[in-house]
Structure 1
Amino acid sequence: MSSLCYNERGERSMLYLDAAATTPPWPEVVEAYARAWQERFAHPGSPHELGLRAAELLDAARRQVAELLGVEPEEVLFTNGATEANAAVILGAASSAPEGRRHIVTTAVEHPSVLEPLARLERRGFRVTYVAPDRSGTLWARDVLAALTPETFLVSVMYVNHETGSIHPVEEIGAGLRDRPNVRFHVDAVQAAAVLPLPIRTARIDYLTLSGHKIHGPRRTGILFVRKGLPPPRLYGDGVPEGGVLHPGTPDVAAAAAFARALRLTEERRTAFVERVRDLSERLREGLEARGAVVLSPRLARAPHILNVSFPGMRGEVLVRALSAHGVYVGTRSACRSRAPRSHVLTAMRLPGELISGSIRLSFAEDLEPDAAEEILSRFDRALRDLRSRS
């Protein structure tokens, strides 16, 4: 499956522009998963030869991920995805916070997988400061650092925002935390991995989370980086993660192998992808503005694979359905919170309600070429004509 499907006449029948929700799997990743599942199906904890072969593959996948991230293998834990890993970091850090330190600093535009465990902690008496971006969606490191208090034990900031594509200044924040060794720094890098190098060492990151299905890998896979010397989070009872896997139960060796393959391909293809998608994104930005759209993504410090625009006077959900009828598939906000009445990200940016309700998110997968812009804009024209003819 790819972002582009063609009919029998060679015409594009589908344009998938919702990669920030999930990406189509790469064939090489599907092959890696199937081969590992068939050939290394045994439990990696079993002492017989088949079990040992499965354990070897799990260990090899962990070492490969560590090499790609520039970290040590023992600092990598395989997870069921970023939702599990983010919750593990936040709840685990809270459970081990020193006496009298019950304050967390985060942003008002985090993914629900971060906001929801923070809300749980607030109900338990923890205090959370939510730092808002400016009206362009830009987050300033000085605002994050100014929110720190002597009671702060955790700072949690995403690298790239999932709705606007805004790149957050994690390296500058990490530099500002160097003289606060008792404050842990967590970075949700789920939307960043496809387009940016991950500055784990230079940004003084303690915990970093990634998700497989955002980089053309399998769903319910991901990794959690835990800096050496820190205790791994314990999301499930008091057990310590074993074998490089965060969660209990039989490790999914095939999923780990497929994730490692997806991450390697992402690293190899990133530069070419960024060049292509930057061109595509700029063509679409100009074309959609000419059609009356207001661009909500920042012009500077934006990941090129995410573009948020609004058509004032229209509802985003209605435009999504109209575009779908013409084979163009876009999103509105986080797919994990798509039924929420309005975007918490755009609300935090203090945008007018008309722009928020009319917003849609275009996000691009690796296989889209810049010349797809013309076809995408043509289908936008048809969808907009359909909607305006009904009003």
Structure 2
Amino acid sequence: MIYFDNSATTQMTEGVLETFLKVSQSINWNPSSLHSLGDQAAGLLQQSRQQIASLLSVSSQEIFFTSGGTEGDNWAIKGTAIEKSFYGKHLITTTIEHPAVKESMHQLEQLGFEVTYLPVDKKGIVSVEALKKAIRPDTIMVSVMAINNEIGSIQPLTEIGEILKEHPSIHFHVDAVQAIGKMPLLLGENSRIDIATFSGHKFHGPKGVGFVYLKKGRKLAPLLNGGGQEAGLRSGTENVAGIAAMGKALRLVLSDMAEKQRTQRKIKDYLTEELQKYPKVVFFSNKEGAPHILCYALKGIRGEVMVHAFEKQEIYISTTSACSSRNKTSSSTLGAMNVPESLATSAVRVSLSDTNTMDEAKQFIKEFDVLYDQFQAINA
């Protein structure tokens, strides 16, 4: 089996799974309980929080555990809206954000907030100047993803941060779900980023667990109220085993990160160079984008047809976003890039992780060559 759908989810590595099972079996207690067993769970929870904070060079008081990226994005956006509605009701985002961001924005619009959706260029990158012009006195948030999950475009976060230094009251939120292990992400005192969301299953951790970075001094209204966990900002009994495993996964994926990025970049470049040899292949990802995402189309062949053709050879890729692929809709990112619908519906995504190899890429090209000839014969 060759698994090239890592932007949808990664596989838990053996060491991460061992941690998850060990904690589930030995420290399966409620960290809010007052007895010694609860203390054990609470201690491990705080140890994991400190580990994650240290790896990201931030304070442990700035890390809050969630169920994943969708909750994190919802909390960042709606929590800001609730907390800062007295100061304004205008938010800024882009047309290529993950549905967790876009749908949260749409819900706020129904509640009387106003949202500006910034366009992107043909490479899927937002204009910093357009963002600067969109800021108003009543703007309370700017939300821009780090790496687009469909085509891998990297957004100019540093440049956006420079603009927002002139607007210190605006929350700057970054959906960083695709960023871990793929690009440098500066957080902490020297960064203008106020809120960043992460999901464990995108970097070999378990599903159903994630975390939010919330810069000290910034305020978010809680979305989940109850027992007062996570300093009262995110109630609900913490998934201690999942959190401990996520902490280990983060440590492992960040070790030798530069070398892992180089390897993924080489594989992506190889795939690009080989696929360029086929006249009917069109690329949507660019060379300057993330090292792990390659989005392309074979003209005249719908994306789901290509996905299932590879699946028969036990090679697993996807159409664009896994969150919308089952709806059989074309890529919202490609639509925002003004890619014609007839071509966007042919888009597929190959997404790598640090566990993929060049031999797998060569096998992929070998199978693609066979499929290309088959599809050409059918179209003829």
Q: Does the pair score TM above 0.5?
A: yes
| 1:194-205 aligned within 5 A | 194-201=181-188, 202-205=190-193
**1:195: how far off?**
1.0
Q: Secondary structure at the match of 1:128?
A: strand
What is the rounded CA distance, in whole Å, between the counterparts of 2:30 and 2:316 in structure 1? Answer: 39
Counterpart of 2:142 in structure 1 is 155
What is the rounded CA distance, in whole Å, between the counterparts of 2:195 and 2:238 in structure 1? Answer: 21
* CA distance 1:370–1:33, change in 2 (3 Å): same
**Equivalent of 1:177, from 149, 152, 164?**
164
1:332 to 2:329 alignment: no
Q: Secondary structure at the match of 2:259?
A: helix
* CA distance 1:129–1:241, change in 2 (3 Å): farther
Amino acid at match of 2:237: T
**1:98: how far off?**
4.1
Q: TM-score, normalised by structure 1?
A: 0.92
Which whole-Å deviations, capped at 9, do the CAs of 1:51-84 have from their partners, x for residues lacking one? 1111110010000011011111111001100100
137-146 vs 354-363, greater mean Cα deviation: 137-146
Counterpart of 1:78 in structure 2 is 65
Amino acid at match of 2:104: P
**1:137: how far off?**
1.6
Percent identity over the alignment? 38
Counterpart of 1:343 in structure 2 is 331
Does the 8 Å CA contact 2:89/2:113 hold for their aligned counterparts? yes
RMSD: 1.6
Q: TM-score, normalised by structure 2?
A: 0.95
What is the rounded CA distance, in whole Å, between the counterparts of 2:170 and 2:118 in structure 1? Answer: 17
| 1:215-254 aligned within 5 A | 215-237=203-225, 241-243=228-230, 247-254=234-241
Which whole-Å deviations, capped at 9, do the CAs of 1:64-111 have from their partners, x for residues lacking one? 011011111111001100100110111111112243611110000000
1:43 to 2:30 alignment: yes
Amino acid at match of 2:374: D
Which whole-Å deviations, capped at 9, do the CAs of 1:170-211 have from their partners, x for residues lacking one? 111011101111110000001011211221134311110000
What is the rounded CA distance, in whole Å, between the counterparts of 1:165 and 1:381 in structure 2? Answer: 24
**Equivalent of 1:279, from 243, 253, 266?**
266
Counterpart of 1:32 in structure 2 is 19
Counterpart of 1:353 in structure 2 is 341
What is the rounded CA distance, in whole Å, between the counterparts of 1:205 and 1:240 in structure 2? Answer: 29
What is the rounded CA distance, in whole Å, between the counterparts of 2:354 and 2:304 in structure 1? Answer: 25
Q: Secondary structure at the match of 1:96?
A: helix
Amino acid at match of 1:166: S
Q: Which runs of 5+ in 1 are unaligned?
A: 1-13
Amino acid at match of 2:122: R
What is the rounded CA distance, in whole Å, between the counterparts of 1:246 and 1:99 in structure 2? Answer: 20
**Equivalent of 1:105, from 92, 97, 115?**
92
What is the rounded CA distance, in whole Å, between the counterparts of 1:241 and 1:122 in structure 2? Answer: 29
Does the 8 Å CA contact 2:5/2:351 hold for their aligned counterparts? yes
What is the rounded CA distance, in whole Å, between the counterparts of 2:274 and 2:233 in structure 1? Answer: 45
Does the 8 Å CA contact 1:23/1:216 hold for their aligned counterparts? yes
Amino acid at match of 1:228: K
What is the rounded CA distance, in whole Å, between the counterparts of 1:139 and 1:355 in structure 2? Answer: 22
What is the rounded CA distance, in whole Å, between the counterparts of 1:144 and 1:199 in structure 2? Answer: 20
* CA distance 1:195–1:286, change in 2 (3 Å): same
Runs of 4+ in 1 over 3 A off after TM superposition: 243-247, 385-391
1:370 to 2:366 alignment: no
Amino acid at match of 1:362: V
Does the 8 Å CA contact 1:62/1:244 hold for their aligned counterparts? no
* CA distance 1:244–1:273, change in 2 (3 Å): farther
What is the rounded CA distance, in whole Å, between the counterparts of 2:122 and 2:62 in structure 1? Answer: 37
Amino acid at match of 1:191: Q
What is the rounded CA distance, in whole Å, between the counterparts of 1:274 and 1:267 in structure 2? Answer: 10
**Equivalent of 2:278, from 270, 291, 295?**
291
Does the 8 Å CA contact 2:227/2:235 hold for their aligned counterparts? no
1:53 to 2:40 alignment: yes
Q: Which runs of 5+ in 2 are unaligned?
A: none
